[in-house]
Amino acid sequence: MPSATGWASSKPPLLRFLDRCHAQFATEDDGAVADYIPELGKADPAHFGISLATLDGHVYEVGDTKIPFTIQSISKPFVFALALDTLGAAKVESAIGVEPSGDPFNSIRLNAENHPFNPMVNAGAIACSGLIHEAKGDGAFEYIRQALGRFAGRELGVDEAVYASESATGDRNRAIGYLLRTNAVLKDRVDLVLSVYFRQCAVLVTARDIAVMAATLANRGVNPVTGEQVMTPYAISRTLSVMTSSGMYDYAGEWIYRVGIPAKSGVGGGILAALPARLGLGSYSPKLDKHGNSVRGIKVCEALSSHYDLHMLNRSDDARNSIIADYDMGRNPSRRSRRAHEQQILAAHRDEVRVIELVGTLSFSNVDYVSRQLASKPRPQFVIFDLRRVTSLTRAGARLVTEEFRELAAHRVTVVLSGVKRGSREWQIITEWTAGISNVRDFYLLDTAIEWAEDQIVYRYGGAIDFHDTTELSEQPLLAGLTPEELTDLASVGMVRHYKAGEKIISAGEAATSLYFLRSGAVHITLPDGVRLATLTAGMAFGEMALLESHRSADVTADMAATAFEIPLRDFDRFRKQHPRAGEAVMRNLAQLLADRLIVANTKVDLLTSY
């Protein structure tokens, strides 16, 4: 058993690994603090922090993760994404290339079209700031600062001393600026654009901030801590692409070969690494190597990638794991109790409703696998896709899903979706891509979706579900085998009760004093936490567990106007003594009903363990 402090005092494996990395690499003494910008040379070389943010918003922190430092070149991918979303891809891509340069970050060189090689080198970053300034004028820097803050999930300040120091010593960047102006890449005055650029580089962040910013990139632009969609998935994917090829400058090829995670470094000592659909890493240690990258930060990234096999080109996701269960409605009927004629129809046509429960990400390969599994069996009339365990839907997956739905519609197959909350991001994606497809229905609860499909099968094959139909005691399964005389005597000790829609008939925890036989309408039985156990229609009993238990274990509420025979337990006990044969028949019927429920429950358990 855990100690008194219990699990709360133990560290998760990933945090223990980061602790070991911090302890091991803190002794690394190679590299030097950047001093070509005098204010940066004041950084404490002993500072070292590691932070890792997951896509569900959890942040691990080790060491000096709250020490502020200037973001420097780590701002470049975020301003590039901002430019794409603000100005449109056509304008940005017409001014800035996306090819690696193979040169240092501050190279004064343009490509064959006299444009910056990519937005990760200084020339490209200055061009990005120029595009934002062209669009926003004097408000350009504030526009950038607010965007960086949305990525970090908090308001970010500026180190004015570093800004002044960069401005005073930034002649090389001025040379780049005038080169861009000469080639019409910059439209505005060089000094105004460089003021924006120097100030964006002086924005203050922590290792924790850049881990969250990295996780936002890894999460298709959704900040996992705040839940805000900061940038469009298009801008994010293009930004990650350029980070992959050029984020580590003239070390980029070596980096992607050894580490395999899109990353960006800054001469302030930070390194940001964003592994799509996985995590975001931020590290801070101001001692840099000859490429301008943090020595300790690189070692952390290498160790993380190697230890957990996180190279992005070594993914091992298996599309076959996307289906957690695949069955017909006979193996997992709804919690709606059915009358005999409905049961017969559903049993004869059980394979007309197929349920596929999905899990994880619906990507291109996962949806393709699902569609092939669907085609491997006879075509049903209804297909229910349960998405409650689906964590995300890629654009390729959404497109393939849409094409599958159109194919099913062409064959008159109705698609039913369950488990997607209206208004959620997944809901918005699905509704956007399935607009105009008439064969798609949705229900939040899987049980409700199955119940609706069952109703359609009953209707299609000549059955009827009449909630206003009135039944007698002779139609009750619990009273099967009783003679007309016995039923008459039982009716004489009961009374007919009337209930309004929404009226609670039985409350969990109260003493069990009566049996009920539903004559018309419908009721639902729920646990105190709201989980539905069953929906009953006319001709069914409820409260029958009073024959075995002294207190109610569930609530019973009228779904609509309903009537029921109520028979007090004390009167039923007298009836059983007067009619012992009838009493035995009722108990046998109860045992059979409980056995049937157990069979259904076992089938549902088998579904959970068979995949």
Q: Of how many residues is the chain composed?
A: 611
Residues 33, 51, 62, 73: which is the catalytic one? 73
User: Quick one: tokens of 516?
Assistant: 């009920």
> How buried is residue 113: exposed, middle or buried, by Cβ count under 10 Å (0-12/13-18/19+)?
exposed
300-325 tens-digit pLDDT: 999 999 998 889 887 666 667 788 88
Residue type at position 95: A
424: confidence class by pLDDT, cuts 50, 70, 90 = confident
Highest averaged pLDDT of the listed ranges 11-15, 69-73, 553-557, 603-607: 69-73
Residue 227: which region, alpha, beta or left (left: phi > 0; alpha: psi -120 to 50)?
A: left
For every residue of 174-197, which 3-state class applies, written as one string? HHHHHHHHHCCCCCCCHHHHHHHH
Residues 292, 336 within the same domain: no
Residue type at 178 in one-letter notation: Y
101 is catalytic: no
The reply to whether 599 falls in a domain is no
Q: Say what the pLDDT of residue 27 is.
A: 94
Outline where 309-444 has alpha helix (H).
Answer: 340-348, 364-375, 395-410, 425-434
If asked whether residues 286 and 428 sit together in one domain, one would say no
The verdict on whether 249 is a catalytic residue reads yes
Does any domain span residue 45? yes
**Which of 403, 428, 460 corresponds to the end of one domain?**
460
CA distance 232 to 228: 11
- Give pLDDT, residue 217: 97
Q: Cα separation of 588 and 479, whole Å?
A: 10
Phi and psi at residue 107, to the nearest 5°: -65, 140
Asked if 272 and 404 sit in the same domain, the reply is no
3-state secondary structure of 318: coil
The answer as to whether 500 is a domain residue is yes
Is residue 597 situated within a structural domain?
no
State whether 434 and 293 are in the same domain: no
Q: Which residues lie closer than 8 Å to 229 by C-beta, 6 or more apart?
A: 221, 222, 425
Catalytic (active site) residue 195: no
Residues 382 and 523 in one domain: no
What are the residues whose beta carbons fall under 8 Å from the beta carbon of 322, sequence distance 6 or more?
Answer: 358, 359, 360, 361, 362, 366, 369, 370
Residue 327 lies inside a defined structural domain of this protein: yes
Residue ending a domain, among 408, 431, 460, is 460
Query: What is the percent of the chain with per-residue pLDDT over 70, rounded to a whole number?
Result: 95
Q: What is the CATH number of the domain that holds 456?
A: 3.30.750.24
Residue 465 lies in a domain: no
Kind of pairing between the strands at 414-418 and 440-443: parallel
Q: Reply yes or no on whether 499 is catalytic.
A: no
| Residue 599 CB neighbour total at 10 angstroms | 10
Considering the domain architecture, whether residues 505 and 536 belong to the same structural domain is answered as yes
Are residues 530 and 444 part of one domain? no
Q: Are residues 521 and 570 in the same domain?
A: yes
Q: Indicate whether 607 pLDDT > 60.
A: no
Do 443 and 412 meet the contact criterion of CB atoms below 8 Å apart?
Answer: no
Domain identity same for 155 and 85: yes
The CB density around residue 425, as the number of other CB atoms within 10 Å, is 15
Instruction: Kindly name the residue from 79, 165, 193, 197 that is annotated as catalytic.
Output: 197
* Tens of pLDDT, residues 91-125: 999 999 998 887 777 788 888 899 999 999 999 99
Short-list 240, 239, 262, CA closest to 252: 262
**Judgement on whether residues 363 and 277 belong to the same structural domain of the protein:** no
Same domain for 172 and 297, yes or no, is yes
Please tell me the total count of domains within the chain. Answer: 3
For 118-191, strand residue ranges (E) read: none
d(CA 167, CA 480): 93
What is the C-alpha separation between 500 and 182, in angstroms, rounded?
Answer: 81
Q: What is the CA radius of gyration of the chain?
A: 33
Q: Of 162, 267, 390, 413, which residue is the catalytic one?
A: 267
* Residue 59 DSSP class: E
Find the catalytic residue in 51, 129, 222, 249: 249
pLDDT digits (tens, 9 = 90+) for 393-406: 877 888 888 888 88
Q: Which residues does 96 contact at the CB level (< 8 Å), separation at least 6?
A: 80, 115, 116, 118, 119, 124, 127, 128, 185
Which element (helix H / strand E) includes 281?
strand 279-284
Q: pLDDT-based confidence at 602, cuts 50/70/90?
A: low
Question: 76, 92, 107, 259: which is the annotated catalytic residue?
Answer: 76
Domain identity same for 294 and 356: no
Q: Is 521 left (phi over 0), alpha (psi -120 to 50) or beta?
A: left
Tell me if residue 51 is catalytic.
no
Range of the domain at 427: 319-460
> Whose CA is closest to 263, among 292, 290, 287, 232?
292
Dist CA 212 CA 227 (whole Å): 11
Where is pLDDT greater, at 2 or 522? 522
State residue 374's pLDDT score.
Answer: 87
CATH of the domain at 165: 3.40.710.10
Cβ contacts of 501 within 8 Å, gap of 6 or more: 558, 559, 560, 561
Q: How confident is the model at residue 201 (pLDDT cuts 50, 70, 90)?
A: very high
Would residue 468 count as lying in a domain? no
pLDDT of res. 214: 97
The CATH code of the domain that includes 523 is 2.60.120.10
Query: Do the domain assignments include residue 591?
Result: no
Nearest of 447, 458, 371 to residue 408 by alpha carbon: 371
Choose the final residue of a domain: 308, 331, 365.
308
